Amino acid sequence: MIYKLHKISDRFIFRVIFLLIILWNLKYLFLIVQVPFTMLFVDYLGQNSFYSQVTDIKKAVKDIKDFQDEGKVGFVSDIAQNSVFDIESSIRNFYIAQYAIVPSVLKNDKLENYVIGAYEYVPKKVIAPDGFKIYKKVNDKTYIFKRIEK
C-alpha cells in the first residue's frame, strides 16, 4: 500500500520546473535585448575606409601595365621615413597599401620605379618626391608616383 504524504499534482510540478527554467535563462535576457542595439552603435567608418582604400588602390594598380613587373614598390608618407612604423595611422596606411598590391612587396623607401604615397592628412598640393612625377591620383590621400629618371 502506497501512502501519499502530500498531494502534489503533476501540473504543479511541471509549472515549478518550467518557472525554474525561465528564471535560469533570465540571466541571458540582457544578451537578447542587447543585440539589436549594438548594431546601432558600432562605428563602421573605419572598416569602410579600409575597404574603400584597398579597392581604390587595386583599381588604380590594375590599369598600370608594368606596375608589378619588378615585384617591389616604394612607399612614402607625410610621416618621416624613419617614423613610419612608430605611428599607428602610418602603419595602417603602409599595410593597407601592401595588402592592395599583393603579390608585390611594399618597401619603405623611394628606390623603386613606382612609389605609393599615402598621406594621413589631405594635402593641399601634393609634391612628388625628387626624381618622381605624379602618375595617378588614387583618392584624396593616396597617390602613385613614377620615377622619371634612373
Question: Is 115 within a domain?
Answer: yes
72 sits in which H/E element: strand 72-77
Q: How many domains does the chain have?
A: 1
Question: Is 128 within a domain?
Answer: yes
- Measured N-to-C along each axis, helices 45-62 and 88-100 cross at an angle, to the nearest 10 degrees, of 40
Half-sphere exposure of 74 (CA within 13 A, CB side): 19
User: Residue 25 CB: number of other CB atoms within 10 A?
Assistant: 10
Question: Is 79 within a domain?
Answer: yes
Question: Is 131 within a domain?
Answer: yes
**What's this model's pTM, rounded to 2 decimal places?**
0.66
Report the C-alpha gap between 72 and 63 in whole angstroms. 17
Question: Is 130 within a domain?
Answer: yes
pLDDT in tens, the chain (150 residues): 566 666 777 888 889 899 888 877 777 777 777 777 766 776 666 667 788 889 999 999 998 888 888 889 999 988 877 787 888 888 888 999 999 999 999 999 999 999 999 888 877 888 888 899 999 999 888 999 999 976
Report the C-alpha gap between 133 and 128 in whole angstroms. 6
Nearest in space to 72 (alpha carbons), one of 107, 39, 43, 121: 107
Question: Is 55 within a domain?
Answer: no
- 144 contacts: CB under 8 Å, gap ≥ 6: 60, 61, 64, 67, 114, 115, 116, 117, 134, 135, 136, 138
Question: Is 29 within a domain?
Answer: no
Phi, psi dihedral angles at 142 (to 5 degrees):
-130, 135
Q: Which domain holds residue 73?
A: 65-147
Question: Is 36 within a domain?
Answer: no
